[in-house]
Amino acid sequence: MWGTMNKRIEEALASLCATHTLPEEEYLYLLQHNDEESRALAAEYARTVRERFYGKDVYIRGLIEISNYCKNDCLYCGIRRSNKDCFRYRLTQEEILECCEIGYPLGFRTFVLQGGEDAYYTDERLEVLVREIKKRFPECAVTLSLGERSRGSYERLYAAGADRYLLRHETATKTHYEKLHPAEMSHENRLRCLNDLKEIGYQTGCGFMVGSPYQTKEHLAKELKFIEAFRPQMCGIGPFISHHATPFSAFENGSYEDTLYLLSLIRLIHPTVLLPATTALGTIRPDGREAGILAGANVVMPNLSPQNVRHNYEIYDNKINTGAEAADGLADLKVRMEKIGYCVVEKRGDICTGEL
């Protein structure tokens, strides 16, 4: 079947499987030759590796979008502070706990609290919240995704019981970072945060958008080297999707095929990484999340936010929101996963430390 295939691609993928590293120029070569055959071979290897550690399990994370207030002005993001058309909301502690109460009996064993950088959520408030979630649901993991904070803040939240932290680095290239963010934000601080989180002991997630404005294949090759070096426990990638009320409204969306290929390559670089088939991937294609799983992803993050606020957490246009209640949304996801031979499981889904 691979008879006509480019030898250099075949060799690079085989070598990546065996050693989990490649020179940057080989990553670049792979990315420049992203055709159907290369993608299919990478995905086949990625599934084999993924199944060695995680079988057919798909871990679910209940995503609770706690606030869309944000002090930042990231040029790509729909909830940036300059977007005056964004209706702002924040959930109370009681509302967040209610989301967990709904999610637990459905089988969620990880709750992800995500939001803009909202000053209301002080360390004190978050500590109380994290402690309460851990008290009510001791067997569940709490993941935070609340942006850049001080090391001291990350330490306090870890001490309060938070297990994981998601903070996409967005791009590994400083000059590219500066094109995506206003001058008051810095690549150094983003990386400082990631290093602090890892040192403190969080299971740490980094990640980037695929096809963000001004991104080149050379940038993507650097992303892969970054993941090799940082070895995050989690890695979130999804296509850039333009939002109508941002400076990037006229840019094209990231490529579906590139995203799938990168998922496979990331799985081969880091066999045990927790790798979500993201909502953004499901937004650009109706069966995007299934395709993501088939490319080597092993996590899906269904939305557990209250129905009446979901449409306000619009970081990009047309973000999937079926209008279904959490239970119906999950039932639909389970069917989708079963159809492709995978199984949603009721587990915390920590990173695997040994073979099955």
Nearer to ligand SAH, 47 or 168 (CB): 168
163 vs 158: CA distance, rounded Å? 7
Query: Parallel, antiparallel, or unpaired for β 203-210 and 164-166?
Result: parallel
Work out how close the CB of 200 gets to ligand SAH at its nearest, in angstroms, rounded to a whole number: 17
Report the sign of the C-alpha dihedral through residues 2, 286, 245, 148, in that order: negative
Nearer to ligand SAH, 73 or 117 (CB): 117
Nearer to ligand SAH, 81 or 334 (CB): 81
SS3 37: helix
Work out how close the CB of 38 gets to ligand SAH at its nearest, in angstroms, rounded to a whole number: 24
Cα 91 to chain center, whole Å? 22
Q: Are 157 and 144 in contact (CB under 8 A)?
A: yes
CB count within 10 Å of CB 54 equals: 22
Work out how close the CB of 244 gets to ligand SAH at its nearest, in angstroms, rounded to a whole number: 10
Nearer to ligand SAH, 271 or 302 (CB): 302
Work out how close the CB of 109 gets to ligand SAH at its nearest, in angstroms, rounded to a whole number: 21
Nearer to ligand SAH, 19 or 216 (CB): 216
Residues that bind ligand SAH (CB under 6 A): 76-77, 114, 116-117, 145, 147, 167-168, 170, 209, 238, 240-241, 243, 280, 315-316
Nearest to 105 by CA among 340, 342, 325: 325
Work out how close the CB of 70 gets to ligand SAH at its nearest, in angstroms, rounded to a whole number: 6
Task: Collect all residues with Cβ–Cβ distance below 8 Å to 46 and sequence separation of at least 6.
Answer: 263, 264, 265, 267, 268, 295, 296
